[in-house]
Amino acid sequence: MLISLFGMDNYDNENGGKQRDYNFRYAQRFFNDRFQVVIGGHISTNDNNIGQNESFIDNISLEYRLDVSGTRYVRIYHNKNFDNLLEGEITETGTGIVLRKRVNKLKELFIF
């Protein structure tokens, strides 16, 4: 399975100029859908970003499915996001266990 998403954001930057960001996300599954790689990032067209250290790939995650039903995963990730002017760039790196479950009613969420 292959997933590709592309997006574009237009807004006014803090200097009063126009800025356009191009976003992408690419996902690929391997080994009978047990292993998934997700890569994402963005490119900014702001003139002030020229010459700065701007990376093309900002987000990457690796997921491995632990069971046949697809409810438990182990995930390793690295995400870089720009939050706001006060926070700036936030980098998150970590690992975790992901539990996914489909429910029809809210009370089914708490039944294991």
- The pLDDT tens digits of the residues spanning 25-49 come to 889 899 888 999 999 887 777 655 5
Q: pLDDT tens for residues 50-72?
A: 545 566 778 899 999 999 888 89
Query: Kind of pairing, strands 72-82 and 2-12?
Result: unpaired
Please give the model's pTM, rounded to 2 decimal places: 0.66
Are the C-beta atoms of 14 and 20 separated by less than 8 Å?
A: no
What percentage of residues in the chain have a pLDDT greater than 90?
20
| pLDDT at residue 84 in the model | 62
Rg (CA), the chain: 18
What percentage of residues in the chain have a pLDDT greater than 70?
67
CA distance 72 to 33: 13
